[in-house]
Structure 1
Amino acid sequence: MTTINIHSPPDEVLFYANDSFYKFVEQCLGTDEMELIKIQGIKNTRTLIHLPNVLDVLKVECEALDDIQTRVCFKLKDNTYIVKPGVVAGVEDFVEALRAKDKEYLKKTEQQQKKSKRKTDNDKSKPSINQASPSQPLTANSSATPSLAFLSTNNSPSTPSEALPSINGCKQLINEFIEKWCKSYMPDILLHESNDYTLFVKESNMHLKCSCGIEMKLPFQPKTKTFQISSFYRHVKQTNCSMIKQKQNANQHLATNDQTKDHDQSDIAPVVEDVDSSQTQHSNSQSLSLSSSIICKNPRASLKRIHKSSLPITITSGAGNETSSKRSKNRQ
């Protein structure tokens, strides 16, 4: 057993019993004092500190005490005994130190119980994240909004839940960070929760699972109240993530379709013009053929009609009347 400072003992000394208790007493006081305590049936620390005076037993006239009495007492000439001053001082100091330790322990335990009770009351009004299943997804429609009081990067003592965001708040925070990162480093690809990744709590820590099947932990940073998402960024940027590949292929396919559509539209326009011109030529040819057929049937009449239609109609005086009279004579 290691050496123990009796004036600053560990809490465990209050729970020593039987052999461990007797060894502890022997180490601190000595063999004679240990046997004096053992002969009285004192088997543990708590019994010892509740006795008024361990040395009172030496006042009893009993043959069982004769041997121990001669070792811890002085025998006077009148056949009476007086306890050695060193034994008295040692035992009293030892018991007093244990009583002080017991009071300290009880006070500390009471404070812990009060703190635990307050925490329990707070948990009843606002359930903690540990009340959810270890792999419960973080959904925006969750009726409860437990805090992330137990999320930490190194399993250090938890931060008070009042200083940490709710599950929905953490979910929104992570989604916003991922969206901003995508706009800066992958502008052609946007990632959405539920479709491309899933957020859930596992072993009191936030986890992210990519739709490709890779799962990673998102450590919580208590000082900044944010999550470390760099592992997910590296995954989608530097690894052969099947989800990212599908999105890239879809973007390429969409771009190819757009180019093909634009090319097809540019090819259709001349065809329409050709059709229109061919229709116009066909119509003109029909008109010419019709005129030709009319001319062939009655060439002179046709020429006269064409000649008359081509002459302008003018109204003049003098010469015009003379010309008109000549035409009438010719007709006669």
Structure 2
Amino acid sequence: MPAVTQRLTEKKNILPEDIFSYNNDLFYECIKQAYGNDIAELFSFQAIRNAGLLLDTSCEDILLVLQQESDDIDALKKMCCFEVAGNKYQVKLGVKLTINNLIQSLKLKQEQKQIKKRKRYSNQGLASNTNSVTPLNQAQTQDTLTPLESTLSSSLTTNISFIQSTSTPMQRKLDELGHTADIEERIDRRWVIHNDAERACLEQGIDYFLAINKSSINTYTCVLSCKCHARFKLPRFGKENNLVHGEISSSNQSKTLHSVATSSGIESQQVKKAAHTTTSKRIRPQSDRHGVIKKRVQNLTPNTMDILQLTELTDDMMNSSHDDFNDFIETALNNDLYDLFRLQSVRDMSSLSSITVDELTAVLSYDIVELSSIKRILGFVSTDGKFHLRIGFRVTLQRLISLIKSKTNSYDNLIQQFALLLFILGGRNCYEFLRLNLPAALPHISNVELLMRNNEQRILECEFRFQLIKEYYQSNNCNYVLSSEDATRCISRIDYVAQSNIFIGFSSYLVN
């Protein structure tokens, strides 16, 4: 029975696959076409500008605004409520059911997206292992390496230190998972735009393959392969550089992703032409329902970074102040909230760790003529004179403050590196002894072990990574390497000969 219910829910889910990338007018247009003008106007009034905000709120919180008495919401009440005796309003049942259904559909879509990503990462590992054992002559005959433009191929490996010196803190990618997820998301988005097939998106590991290599100095190299055995080399995508300028991708990389989506969709296009029956005609109105949205997605260039997609603030973000802080607020939030921070003279990020949303917006409760414009944007004033902040802005501010507070409760990056070095050189017992005698000075030993696992520099037997060692020591300007070998499996014992003052039993020297 639960499986049947899930299939019915998926069938009724008429939201686009890339709904989480819609913002502002595009999001409202999608909600208007799918659920009605009343729901779209309610979300617009509550400053719910994207689907991510709906995941952090509830139907009751959204409809709470309709209980207030204000001239600003009279038109909204007439759309979403019944007027009963005593000049009171009762919310329509359909409005409640629609909002609850929308929130459940978004949660289901997010869960499916996470499951799909986990499968992609597992398939990526299998695909990389399969490609690694492919003979060289076979790879050369089957796979045709297609270089991109010279400007793109010249930057196949991007140094993190160079990015840090030329980009602002909020424009940085921290791991290769974000790089992989971004490529997959943009391939899926281009597939949805240019194809009306029943398949929602392409499958990584089936329709195309991604192979990403990372060195110890955070240098990335990505190879994108499609079903036709054509391969494309991609640099580490500069999405963070394009966020401020409002560009989804560079022209060269967009052409690459378009060619992959096109070549992977040849089979689906042929099947769709062959199966152009009554069933396909019944499906057509559902795709045409979002025809306007798809055309607008084609020209969409998001110019903001969603704060709801951030899981952690970097150290540079936490230490930002003045111009850097203003740039982050304007980029990660929006201009309306940026005006609020400027009005309150908040100049640095760390100062937000000791305040709440109510304290930040307390100035809007005063009757000041200069604040009338920003009060109309961020909220509304009820008949009793109280100011009410729109729930979309409240959720956004709560998310920012929670990220800041969680960051202040964690250890600094330098302390984590020192703890990792102490654990490696001193051992487990030494580290635990120092941690117990220095309360709260060092992270727990389980966190140090987790930090080592996340470093992604595991040493595997019989795997020699000389190029990785060369890159690392070139970055540190070092020409000598001292290495050791664990030969306990092949050396049973070591004998010392006192007459000749030598040890017997070691393995032979490596002759280069």
* TM-score, normalising length: structure 2: 0.24
Instruction: Give 1 or 2 for the bigger CA radius of gyration.
Output: 1
* TM-score, normalising length: structure 1: 0.35
